[in-house]
């Protein structure tokens, strides 16, 4: 018998912390988050991926490079997480 996966609902805020998610969950989660953040009218969001060895950072940047709602992204300032977070500028969602 296959174990059912629990659906996790996250509040949509201007920041998301990916520390508690497995790398194989990040792509879908991030795509859903970006869509929801744009629908809520956020112009800019902070994605916290941590510093570590860069696995989550590379995954996040890979998603952001090809996501249609992303205008640009950059390393967060030192007061917002430095290279452990990415600031992402979103275009308005036409949905």
Domain ranges in the chain are: 15-90
Contacts of 59 (CB under 8 A, 6+ apart): 23, 26, 27, 49
Residues 51, 83 contacting (CB under 8 angstroms): yes
Of the candidate CATH numbers 3.30.1370.110, 3.40.50.720, 3.40.50.620, 3.40.640.10, the domain formed by 15-90 belongs to 3.30.1370.110
Per-residue pLDDT of the chain (95 residues; tens, 9 = 90+): 556 667 666 678 899 999 888 989 999 999 999 999 999 999 999 999 988 888 899 999 999 999 999 999 999 988 887 888 999 999 986 55
pTM above 0.85, yes or no: no
Q: How many CB atoms lie within 10 A of CB 79?
A: 6
Q: What letter would DSSP give residue 85?
A: E
User: Helix, strand or coil for residue 54?
Assistant: coil
């Amino acid at each position: 018998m296959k174990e059912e996966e629990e659906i996790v609902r996250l509040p949509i805020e201007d920041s998301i912390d990916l520390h508690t998610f497995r790398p194989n969950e990040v792509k879908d989660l991030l795509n859903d988050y970006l869509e929801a953040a744009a629908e809520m009218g956020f112009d800019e969001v902070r994605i916290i991926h941590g510093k570590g060895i860069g696995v989550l950072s590379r995954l996040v940047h890979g998603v952001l490079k090809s996501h249609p709602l992303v205008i640009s992204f950059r390393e967060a300032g030192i007061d917002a997480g430095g290279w452990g977070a990415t600031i992402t500028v979103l275009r308005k969602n036409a949905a």
